[in-house]
Amino acid sequence: MAEFNNIGLVGRPGHAGVVDTLRRLLDFLSGKDLTVFVDDLTAVLVSGHGQKQCQRAELSKFCDLVIVVGGDGSMLNVAKFVASDQVPVIGINRGRLGFLTDILPDELEEGITAVLDGSYSVDSRFLLEVVVRANSSKNSEDHHLGSALNDVVLHPGKAAQIIKFELFVDGIFVYSLDSDGLIVATPTGSTAYALSAGGPIMHPGLNAVVLVPMYPHSLGNRPIVVDGDSEIRIVVSSQETLEPQVSCDGQVLYAASAGDELIVRKKDVPLKLIHPPKHTFYQACRSKLGWGSRLVRDDD
């Protein structure tokens, strides 16, 4: 197991419990032979614990482990900065569901001690990257929009509006569709927006991507699971009058025009997500989704 000496801390601003947890975590880490960094946004929340400061985008230059205090949204934000440099992350859950942030605030000392002692497991979670191939009348070159740990979403950006597009997988035409949009989700993102839209729960170890239509105008258009190495191409209809928006993990990055093509592929380098001892995906589902616990039996 890796030895961690330089620890980065990231906290979610605007959450009442995050500051308390950050201070408790800083007090705990100050008694160890470690160098602690906080990003510029987190530094506003805490001070006076001897930590160093850097830009969030520079965390991976200085740290060999990043601890995120917040919810899954905080983890998604950090992932895009550290994944390419293979810096592992672990989360202390101050959000709601927290599929990516495993450690409870009251158990942070126990959980972080186990990790620092080498008792942990590592998941490799792949990300998606999306480029836009603009309508040739504007610009024929591909333009990189961003990366997503959860999902890339094409949506109208306005309530109760229908958009028209075509879907191709590995160059093969799949369907044309009138709908509120399309969610392209990783297994990590299958328990997020895609699940709310009726998509399946996918084990994070799968090399697969799910394509989930949003309120399609056809009962036959259902979520499709495809190989994770597929190239997903979405072509905005040439008759489209709206400017559908493209989001990566909930952040709007682009307003598409009629004829634009969106190319979604797996990113080369995955995120290394650390879990404390005894963590399992199924235990997380029981906890976060309210699945039933094991039945009590006489021989248990």
Residue 298 has a pLDDT of 59
Residue 139 has a pLDDT of 53
Residue 239 has a pLDDT of 85
- Phi-psi label, residue 284: left if phi above 0, alpha if psi -120 to 50, beta otherwise: alpha
Domain ranges of the chain: 6-125+270-289, 128-266
Task: Give dist(CA 210, CA 265) in Å, integer.
Answer: 12
> Dihedral (C-alpha) 44, 49, 55, 59: value to the nearest 10 degrees?
-140
Catalytic residue among 20, 27, 39, 72: 72
72 in catalytic set: yes
Answer whether 6-125+270-289 and 128-266 agree in fold: no
Residue 190 has a pLDDT of 97
Residue 220 has a pLDDT of 87
Distances (CA, A) of 55 to 62, 146, 264: 10, 19, 29
pTM: 0.91
Residue 299 has a pLDDT of 57
| Residues 75 and 91: beta-carbon distance below 8 Å | yes
Pick the CATH number of 6-125+270-289 from 3.90.1010.10, 3.40.50.10330, 3.40.50.12170, 2.40.30.10: 3.40.50.10330
Residue 241 has a pLDDT of 82
- What six digits make up the tokens of 137? 């009348």
Residues of the chain with pLDDT under 70: 1-2, 48-49, 136-140, 297-300
Task: Give dist(CA 73, CA 112) in Å, integer.
Answer: 21
The topology under which CATH files domain 128-266 is Tumour Suppressor Smad4 (2.60.200)
Distances (CA, A) of 273 to 18, 79, 139: 20, 9, 38
Q: What is the residue-averaged pLDDT of the chain?
A: 90
Residue 134 has a pLDDT of 82
Q: Give the residue carrying structure tokens 């934000």.
A: 77
